[in-house]
Amino acid sequence: MISVTAPPVYRLAEIAATAPDLDLDPNGVPRTTLYGVVLSSSASDSDVHAAAEVVRDSLAIAVGIADTDTAHDVAPDLLDALDLTLTNSAAQGRTTVQVADPAAALDALNHAVASSPRAAVVLTQLLRATAELEVRAGLAAEAAAYSTLLAGPEFAAWLASRGDSRASRGAPDPVQLERAGDHLTLTLNRPERRNAFDANLREALVDALTVAVAAPELMVTLRGAGPDFSSGGDLDEFGSALDVVSAYLVRLQRHPGWVIHQIRERVIAQLHGACIGAGVEIPAFAGRVVASPDTYVALPEVSMGLIPGAGGTVSLTRRIGRWRTAWLALTGARLDADAGVAWGLFDEIAAR
């Protein structure tokens, strides 16, 4: 069992003098992965400005804590600098996440990242960067970070904990194409594997989307066969890359999300059931995302010693902001259809 030390918590007036940052042991393992910042509407402008500067330069994960009385009055530049803010007030835009008890939620977040502190820090640093990058550059940054973690000890430990996995068989027709006039419907077709993304499905989807790129008159609908849109990456392929450099190049060259982004105004993603990892990261590039009432999403990769690697640090940040993306990825929490619409991840819920 991992021993978890409670995260340090600072008041705004303490930040400049303390300058909290990532504390690494001699092997480069974070001893202090995150810290809390108690937000106060009565803090001086100089304290708020100093805190924002420290947070921006810190490598550790900075989490704001705001109660009902202060949540509406916190300086926007400080909320922007933090990696996310927990509040028991109605959420104030994309920088905040509403929870029942912010202090308890901070403790739960600290426990959630304890098994993969390297991946957690890599994630938040990446999100800070990709929020400022163009889509292709953001995908390149994500691919580099993901490929680095493939060679890391946290992912190796997760692989070892799984034991031997059964080899999955590629579907003969992993993506079905149906054209009717100027409409192209693409259906993920591995229902027996909950439409898990393996190399065959990824390649078939890129090829199918390329048809739409070459035919600008086509509108595209992306959907999944069976009870779920997609359970994410096929776990039986995890860790099978020949080398991390090849994994990086493949993610850049054959990225379904990048192709969708190029024609996003012509793409509607219809989601239902489980949309895990790649199952939400890729369709989030679409210009319009429609979710059935039973849809739920989750980003479990950090618990595996990885980060979202199918474009989620780019696609989700553009829909819900880097702060709520960090919350989903660090905690692995599920987000249902109603919350997805409220956050802007989905554009609408399909008629019941």
**d(Cα 94, Cα 115) in Å, to the nearest integer?**
27
Which residue from 300, 302, 347, 350 is spatially nearest to 320, judged by alpha carbons?
Answer: 347
Assigned token pair, 221: 């609908």
What is the total residue count of the chain?
A: 352
pLDDT of residue 241: 65
**How would residue 251 be classed by pLDDT, with cut points 50, 70 and 90?**
confident
Question: What global pTM score does this model have?
Answer: 0.94
User: What is the band of 343 on the pLDDT scale with cuts at 50, 70, 90?
Assistant: very high
Confidence check: pLDDT of 72 > 80: no
pLDDT value of position 201 = 95
Q: Check residues 140 and 74 and name the one with the higher pLDDT.
A: 140
**Assigned CATH topology for domain 132-349:** 2-enoyl-CoA Hydratase; Chain A, domain 1 (3.90.226)
- Residue 28's pLDDT band (cuts 50, 70, 90): confident
Domain residue extents for the chain: 9-114, 132-349
SS3 115: coil
Distance CA 187, CA 230 (A): 11
pLDDT in tens, 143-172: 999 999 999 999 999 999 887 655 556 567
> For position 162, what pLDDT does the model report?
84
How many angstroms from the chain centroid is the CA of residue 90?
Answer: 22
Predicted local distance difference test score (pLDDT) of residue 91:
63
Longest dimension (CA), the chain: 66
Distances (CA, A) of 332 to 108, 111, 172: 11, 12, 32
The β-bridge relationship of strands 267-271 and 274-276 is unpaired
